[in-house]
Amino acid sequence: MSPSSTGDSPMSAGAASSSGRPFPLPSRDTFSIDVSSPQLNAINGSSSVKSPTGIKPQRNPSFSREGILGSAQKARNLSQATEQSSSGTLGANGIQKSPSDEGSINPLKRRNTDATVDYPRRRATIACEVCRSRKSRCDGTKPKCKLCTELGAECIYREPGIKLDAGDKLILERLNRIESLLQISLVNNHPNAMQITHDSPPMSNGTALSGDNVMLQNSSGNFVSIIPSGGLGTWTSHTPGTNISTMPKVHTNAALHLLQWPLIRDLVQRPYDPQIILQLELAREPLHSLAKTPCVDLSNTNAYIEAYFERVNVWYACVNPYTWRSHYRTALSTGFREGPESCIVLLVLALGQASLRGSISRIVPQEDPPGLQYFTAAWSLLPGMMTANSVLAAQCHLLAAAYLFYLVRPLEAWNLLCTTSSKLQLLLMAPTRVPDDQRELLERIYWNALLFESDLLAELDLPHSGVVQFEENVGLPGGFQGEESEAVGRDDLWYFLAEIALRRLLNRVSQLIYSKDSMASTTSLEPVVAELDFQLTQWYESLPLPLQFPFTRTTLPDPVQTVLRLRFFACRTIIYRPYILAVLDNEQAVLDPSVRESCHKCLEASIRQLEHISAHHAGHMPYLWQGALSIVSQTLLVMGATMSPSLSNILLSLVPHREALDQIINDVIMDIERMAVLAPSLSLAAEIIKEAEVRRRTFLNS
């Protein structure tokens, strides 16, 4: 069942509650989450990786080789599976069925229980055409049957008909998709693509995209619209062997790439290089407060520690609540002046205090951000951690990067992530040297670093740290253990695991659709887009019940559900965004029903992200900067759509009236302006959408 905006999500009816999660957390054995094989280009099957459990879930053979959300795929395919053995089959609940059970379910299905008995057939398996026409019994002799020999007729046998069961049909369906993708790859890389398209089996009636703003006629006589690349890559451009679940080194998915699109570029007076965001952040003033002598108030530490485990650790899951008291005692014994334990405790206090004040965009600019005193004290300890290649040293740098993300300092955070990455790579090169009690922590730090880096690479053209090369060797988190019998807080892994899978799917979208500045057609994109959207739906359906957000158009009380819903719609938007580009350049492209439907899905996902703009502050700890740029991207997309007659009609089917759409855009502008003081990149983003809105109103009024 595909998610719909018209009602509640599957399995979540009646799930709403006034506050907190609507359901108690299920057993840790119930959540399965997988990711797709990077080597099969989004067409593979899937298998399940269960997490979190008391027994460590190991990759078999590795995390990146699994199919995304295999539990959903298995449920989808289970009813289609062929018989497993002569002794019985697996039912939908995984219970072995006996042959008698099978017969009671389907009495028409007959099984050959004795393979050694060979019953002679009374008729030929294949009758020739003459015998068929005369309705005579054919003896099947080749090259001529007895009757054709007597009549002196030409004896022609038909090819045997093949009866397929559901399992065979599923295999053939997958093979057809592989063949189609290979043919499309040949088409896109051949200099005479139009002619090859005519000769190869048709994929759809989608609109093709190429280099000029004209209508061309191919050799089959069909008209296709073609558009320039303008911020759109091609899904066939990745090199063989590339892990498609990682961010590509060159892509056109960043927010400012939309300023190169038709109509949208008319809304901004001067052209902007997409690299300007990175340039602004590079020229940014450093944090002056970090040079001050740290002064730490330890009078309210219990409240900040409690706040961290209640409000922050859910996003990062990288502090062990079972060893916390030991860390705190060690830090206290040194007066919080040395050692990784002191650094970790101070960073937890900084993040905990920050979480109690809400979004940093709501704080008076002249006021020091909450937690800064603890972060300054931890910063003075980081040089001692710089040359230490231990798991705790990597944890210190990761938590410091998390606080810098809260301060909306993406480049400073990236610098610390590079150090974290270096330590991780040294540790993972010889994992046997990592103490057993720190291996779980090492894996969690690894996934945090990979998630952080992917988020930054989605918007900034930064060097890749190289940590991704170990992705296939690192297992999923499976639950902390420690010396304390009672944890100081929760070890909640649900969101963390869901985010790992979704981030990998977002990376896959960037690899398959936006990875190079070249052309791609909506015809060739159609099977890939369908597959990616299917994997997104699988991801949602595999979420445990407390995380399965409803698709109603109301705000949610649970911040985790809120963030996951926003991330879901952000992923769906970029999956379908190429179709908006096709229509912005050529209005006639929307005449293709598949293009129109895809535009509807994209614009609906964009509106769902923008209609309750305050919801984005639910993820203010990890996602404020990334979320703000995502908002800007969707707003530019909607602005451009209002200038297209056909896309404007689609938008008006998603909102009550035009004034409601104008109000959504106005609310976004106000919110981004409020965040403009936090970073020069956000200040530029606020200027761009404000100028674009003035020009858009002028254009529509004229």
Q: List CB contacts of 528: < 8 A, sequence separation 6 or more.
A: 42, 181, 235, 512, 513
- Residues 81 and 74: their CA atoms lie apart, in Å, by 10
271: exposed, middle or buried (Cβ count in 10 Å: 0-12, 13-18, 19+): exposed
- Residues 179 and 580: their CA atoms lie apart, in Å, by 27
Instruction: Report residue 288 as tokens.
Output: 């002056």
pLDDT of residue 221: 36
**Among residues 385, 391, 378, which one has the least CA distance to residue 428?**
391
pLDDT of residue 137: 85
Q: Does residue 517 contact residue 228 with C-beta atoms inside 8 Å?
A: no
The structure's pTM equals: 0.70
**Among residues 428, 450, 438, 420, which one has the least CA distance to residue 320?**
438
CA 555 to chain centroid, in Å, comes to: 22
Helical pair 559-585 and 522-541, crossing angle rounded to 10 deg: 170
- If one counts every other C-beta atom within 10 angstroms of the C-beta of residue 521, the result is 25
pLDDT of residue 104: 38
- Residues 117 and 180: their CA atoms lie apart, in Å, by 42
Q: What share of the chain is helix, strand, coil (3-state, %, to 5)?
A: 55, 0, 45
Does 435 sit behind a cis peptide bond, omega within 30 degrees of 0 on the bond before it? Answer: no
Q: Is 142 left (phi over 0), alpha (psi -120 to 50) or beta?
A: beta
DSSP run (H or E) holding 216: strand 215-217
Angle at 134 between CA 131 and CA 135, to 5 degrees: 75
pLDDT of residue 629: 94
pLDDT of residue 169: 56
- Residues 409 and 289: their CA atoms lie apart, in Å, by 14
pLDDT of residue 86: 35
DSSP run (H or E) holding 97: strand 96-97
Instruction: Report residue 18 as tokens.
Output: 């006034």
- Residues in the chain with pLDDT < 50? 1-2, 5-124, 161-163, 187-188, 190-241, 517-519
Cα radius of gyration (the chain): 29
Q: List CB contacts of 78: < 8 A, sequence separation 6 or more.
A: 90, 92
40 phi and psi angles, rounded to 5 deg: -110, 10
pLDDT of residue 151: 81
The three-class DSSP label of residue 129 is helix
Instruction: Report residue 172 as tokens.
Output: 């053939």
Helical pair 522-541 and 70-78, crossing angle rounded to 10 deg: 90
Q: Does residue 392 contact residue 654 with C-beta atoms inside 8 Å?
A: no
- Residues 314 and 355: their CA atoms lie apart, in Å, by 12
- Residues 156 and 536: their CA atoms lie apart, in Å, by 50
DSSP run (H or E) holding 158: none
Measure the N-to-C terminal CA separation of the chain; round to a whole number of Å. 44
| DSSP state at residue 137 | P
Instruction: Report residue 624 as tokens.
Output: 């404020």
Q: Does residue 276 contact residue 684 with C-beta atoms inside 8 Å?
A: yes
Q: Does residue 380 contact residue 335 with C-beta atoms inside 8 Å?
A: no
User: Do you know the residue count of the chain?
Assistant: 702
Q: Does residue 131 contact residue 142 with C-beta atoms inside 8 Å?
A: no
